[in-house]
């Protein structure tokens, strides 16, 4: 009887040990070979990420399995901390994601100042449990392009002529200053307005902190209006990706009606013109009289010759 009892105790002990072993194996973490939960989409709310500025990142996880998963944890990191969470440790949670559905996670992020203009790898680690309590881990990555702020100004606008009359050539010079962190590519300056012709000047590339020179030749086509003119300098440039951007700056060009500044000079020029005109008339009269006199002399000589022959 005692042996039978010991045998039963042994069997029960074996069953209990097996149950414990099976239970323990059920909570171990498994690196999912074919993940059921994965990144289906991501976006930046502001449209682009600029070095030194904050941005909002949206990441969408999709449960491709038919059954729900639980205790979903998403962690994001970069290799050298180029993109950092504004708050927390870059971790977001979801209690449950039903089968064949998506859940969006939102992160407030900051791109570290001084980054180069390129794409940075953002590592994503997703941890979750299935219905049996088995844990899974999925490692993925997305790439976030980081740009540099582009700002410029136009200064030292200069027009050599202090007085511009209708029809005059107008030379306009200025400086285009790159105040941003990135290079401005293929910079072009164009002037236009209500009283000058449109003219353009190619400047080239302007590196951060440097300036380019504008030098354009236009022409005064209309007298300035009483309430002011609309004259503009339009700066066109490209970023590293070739996207064309344009900024407009106001400039002032005043055009006057042609007038004679020195009345004495005008009178002198008028008198000189009259004298020349008089001399030309006298010369013409003398020439006509000389021709008439020559004809009369010729006629007299012929008449005299005819009388001598008779």
What is the pLDDT tens value at each position of the chain, 310 positions in all?
545 555 555 555 545 444 444 444 444 444 554 568 999 999 999 988 999 999 999 999 999 999 999 999 999 999 999 999 998 789 999 999 999 999 999 999 999 998 988 999 999 999 999 988 899 999 999 999 999 888 999 999 998 887 888 888 899 999 999 998 889 999 999 999 888 999 999 999 999 999 999 999 999 888 888 666 788 999 999 988 888 999 999 988 888 888 755 445 445 545 666 667 788 888 888 888 888 888 788 777 776 766 666 5
Q: What is the DSSP annotation of 6-74? A: HHHHHHHHHHHHHHHHHHHHHTSEEE-SS-SEEEEEEEETTSSEETTSEEEEEEEEEE-SSS-EEEEEE
pLDDT of residue 164: 86
Residue found by looking up tokens 């399995």 in the block = 65
Residue found by looking up tokens 């022959």 in the block = 309
CB 190 within 8 A of CB 237: no
Residue found by looking up tokens 């976006």 in the block = 43
* 310/190 Cα distance (integer angstroms): 93
- Strand-pairing partners, residue 173, are 158, 215
CB count within 10 Å of CB 191 equals 24
CB 59 within 8 A of CB 77: no
* 42/106 Cα distance (integer angstroms): 10
pLDDT of residue 290: 82
* 113/43 Cα distance (integer angstroms): 21
Q: Which residues have a Cβ under 8 Å from the Cβ of 187 and sit 6 or more positions away?
A: 176, 202, 203, 204, 205, 206, 212, 235, 236, 237
* 100/73 Cα distance (integer angstroms): 18
List domains and CATH numbers for the chain: 26-147 (2.60.40.10), 152-256 (2.60.40.10)
Burial of 22 (0-12, 13-18, 19+ CB in 10 A): exposed
pLDDT of residue 273: 60
């Amino acid at each position: 009887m005692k042996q039978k009892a010991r045998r039963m105790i042994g069997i029960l002990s074996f069953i209990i040990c097996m149950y414990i072993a099976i239970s323990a194996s059920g909570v171990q973490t498994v690196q999912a070979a074919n993940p059921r939960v994965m990144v289906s989409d991501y976006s930046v709310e502001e449209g682009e990420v600029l070095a030194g500025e904050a941005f909002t990142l949206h990441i969408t996880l999709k449960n491709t399995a038919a059954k729900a998963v639980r205790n979903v944890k998403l962690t994001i990191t970069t290799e050298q901390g180029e993109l950092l969470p504004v708050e927390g440790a870059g971790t977001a949670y979801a209690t449950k994601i039903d089968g064949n559905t998506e859940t969006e996670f939102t992160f407030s992020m900051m791109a570290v100042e001084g980054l180069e203009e390129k794409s940075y790898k953002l590592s994503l680690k997703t941890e979750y449990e299935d219905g049996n309590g088995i844990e899974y881990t999925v490692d993925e990555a997305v790439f976030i392009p980081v740009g540099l702020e582009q700002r410029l100004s136009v200064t030292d606008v200069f027009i050599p002529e202090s007085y511009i009359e209708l029809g005059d050539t107008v030379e306009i010079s200025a400086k285009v200053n790159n105040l941003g962190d990135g290079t401005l590519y293929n910079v072009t300056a164009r002037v236009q307005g209500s009283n000058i012709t449109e003219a353009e000047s190619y400047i080239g590339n302007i590196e951060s902190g440097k300036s380019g020179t504008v030098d354009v030749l236009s022409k005064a086509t209309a007298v300035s209006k009483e309430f002011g003119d609309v004259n503009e300098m339009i700066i066109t440039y490209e970023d590293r990706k070739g996207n064309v951007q344009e900024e407009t700056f106001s400039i002032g060009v005043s055009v006057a009606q042609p007038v004679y500044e020195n009345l004495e000079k005008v009178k002198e020029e008028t008198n000189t013109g009259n004298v020349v005109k008089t001399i030309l008339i006298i010369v013409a009269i003398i020439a006509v009289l000389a021709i008439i006199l020559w004809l009369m002399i010729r006629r007299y000589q012929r008449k005299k010759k005819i009388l001598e022959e008779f």
